């Protein structure tokens, strides 16, 4: 793993969100490097329903560089910074003002955190014009999603193309993204997502993990869905499957995203066997997975975002030994050794009944071995090897 480096992460995440890949990588690298995690500058104006998030973000801006404690993924030694920007990046004069503000903020941040020429590790083209104006040792573009599915404006797509071509290195987890980005930059590397080794060690304990209080009273079999209720969830499929399997308890470790279709979410949550348990602390997730009998991925197969996504929940389910049933898209087709792929309501219902009825200790061991070969520690080690080679080539 990298050691003794200054690394500036420019992200599209907030540290209090779900423990996404950006955070996993930053937390691991912070153990032996000087790591600063710059939170998102936003992709859109917030909805009225998100006012609590807006207030919390404004409060964090006042703190300057901070250490996150008590919620979500353990930040280890990561320094976290919430910059100020106006979330109207599509307006040219606002984009110019934001660039000026952000460059000043980040240059001052680099001085305060003693980063004269860091590795700049960027996860969104929204940062492209800022990144080019920062001192750097190496530019890394980490593309984890089909970013055009969030923003298809000409300005954003142009920034995406520039970032891909200018980057010293590109990392991406998806086979579809790898093919497209390799055409723009030959220094593109496909390195997948992972699961936390800390979680895997909890499953190795001799005593079974205690059931969470909010789950213990719910009848089995229990089926878990981890992740936000977003606009690309297949609510029609979800509703039909839950109605066809009323004896199963569906546990949603979720919050309702601001862009989710409210009526479809309301219909789903009205079912008596659907249980919205809310966002859970990352450290508590193994207890919920251990209390379930299967995991599901309910994404709309025809959705453009779904085609490009690589859900980390595949590894999390496997780490707990859980069988998984999913809709069909490239990431699940690549993981058919551990994921049962369904193409219809009937397929999904039959798949869930089958994987729960036939789940054996041998299968659970095979799934856990798959997760163990794809821990975040292993993936970050692979990225570190590539980065060190790039730094050697640049110095030669």
- pLDDT tens digits, one per residue of 372-394: 999 999 999 999 999 999 999 99
Q: 95-121 burial, b for 16+ CB within 10 Å, e for fewer?
A: beebbebbbebbeebbeebebeebbbb
Give residues with Cβ within 8 angstroms of 355, minimum separation 6. 294, 323, 324, 325, 340
**Which tens digit of pLDDT belongs to each residue from 266-316?**
999 999 999 999 988 888 899 999 999 999 999 999 999 999 999 999 999
Q: Coil, strand, or helix at residue 334? A: helix
**Which tens digit of pLDDT belongs to each residue from 70-96?**
456 788 899 999 898 887 767 888 888
Q: Specify the DSSP element, H or E, that contains 169.
A: strand 169-172
Distance CA 120, CA 141 (A): 9
**Which tens digit of pLDDT belongs to each residue from 275-288?**
999 988 888 899 99
Q: DSSP string covering 223-287, please?
A: EEEES-B-TTB-HHHHHHHHHH-TTSEEEEE--B-TTS-HHHHHHHHTSTTEEE-----GGGHHH
Distance of CA 74 to CAs 22, 36, 77, 272, 375, Å? Answer: 13, 14, 9, 34, 16
Q: Specify the DSSP element, H or E, that contains 80.
A: strand 79-81
The structure's pTM equals 0.89
């Amino acid at each position: 793993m990298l050691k003794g480096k200054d690394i500036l992460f420019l992200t599209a995440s907030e540290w209090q969100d779900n423990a996404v890949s950006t955070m996993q990588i930053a937390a691991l690298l912070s153990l032996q490097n000087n790591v600063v995690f710059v939170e998102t500058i936003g992709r859109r104006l917030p909805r009225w329903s998100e006012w609590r998030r807006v207030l919390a973000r404004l409060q964090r801006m006042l703190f300057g560089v901070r250490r996150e404690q008590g919620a979500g993924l353990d930040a280890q030694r990561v320094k976290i910074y919430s910059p100020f920007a106006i979330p109207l990046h599509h307006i040219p004069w606002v984009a110019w003002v934001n660039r000026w503000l952000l460059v000043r903020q980040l240059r001052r941040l680099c001085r305060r955190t003693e980063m004269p020429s860091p590795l700049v590790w960027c996860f969104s083209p929204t940062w492209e014009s800022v990144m080019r104006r920062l001192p750097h040792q190496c530019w890394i573009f980490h593309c984890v999603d089909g970013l055009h599915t969030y923003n298809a404006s000409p300005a954003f797509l142009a920034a995406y193309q520039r970032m891909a071509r200018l980057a010293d290195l590109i990392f991406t987890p998806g086979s579809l993204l790898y093919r497209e980005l390799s055409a723009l930059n030959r220094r593109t590397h496909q390195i997948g997502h992972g699961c936390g080794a800390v979680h895997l060690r909890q499953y190795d304990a001799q005593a079974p993990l205690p059931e969470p209080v909010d789950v213990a009273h719910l009848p089995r079999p229990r089926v878990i869905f981890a992740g936000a209720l977003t606009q690309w969830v297949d609510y029609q499929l979800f509703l039909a499957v839950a109605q066809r399997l009323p004896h199963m308890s569906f546990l949603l470790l979720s919050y309702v995203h601001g862009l989710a279709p409210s009526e479809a979410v309301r219909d789903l949550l009205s079912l008596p066997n659907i249980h919205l348990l809310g966002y859970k602390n990352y450290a508590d997730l193994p207890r919920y997975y251990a209390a379930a009998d299967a995991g599901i991925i309910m994404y709309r197969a025809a959705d453009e975002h779904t085609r490009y996504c690589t859900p980390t929940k595949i590894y999390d389910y496997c780490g707990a030994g859980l069988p998984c049933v999913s809709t069909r898209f490239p990431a699940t087709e690549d993981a058919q050794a551990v994921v049962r792929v369904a193409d219809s309501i009937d397929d999904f219902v039959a798949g869930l009944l089958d994987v729960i009825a036939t789940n054996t200790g041998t299968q659970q061991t095979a799934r856990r071995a798959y997760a163990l070969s794809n821990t975040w520690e292993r993936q970050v080690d692979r990225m570190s090897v590539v980065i060190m080679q790039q730094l050697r080539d640049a110095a030669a």
